[in-house]
Amino acid sequence: MENSEWYEKLLHIFREIGKHEDFEIYLFIGLLLFTLWFIRSTVKYYYGQKRKLRHMHRFAREGDVDAQRHLAARYRKGDILPKSCERAAYWYHKVALTGDEEAKGYLQKFLESHRKKC
């Protein structure tokens, strides 16, 4: 289909919609439903992320290196968790003890900046 055909079909649809007297009501109801869906999805996503972090903290405390690295990165970036250079350094230190070079680099950067923003 060419662009002009799509344009004509779209114009036809809008003209048909415009003929209805209660168009504003339908539009309002549609926007209201979309807003409610969006809020519900956002809250569901947020609680899902918080649940993941609870499990990640548990795994990190139990010694899982991937969970420790992931927590350190989240604390460093302030992703879902509050940004905290000290907590990021704590978890990077735990990971660095296993020999991870990336964690050693971040930990060295933290120590060089002497507790300034990471």
Q: Note the pLDDT tens digit of each residue in 42-93.
A: 999 999 988 999 999 999 999 999 999 999 989 988 888 888 888 988 998 8
Query: Cα–chain-centroid distance for residue 57?
Result: 18
Residue 115 pLDDT > 60: no
CB atoms within 10 A of CB 57: 15
Q: What is the pLDDT of residue 57?
A: 93
- What distance in Å separates the CA atoms of residue 32 and residue 92, rounded to the nearest whole number? 45
Q: What is the pTM of this model?
A: 0.62
d(CA 23, CA 10): 17
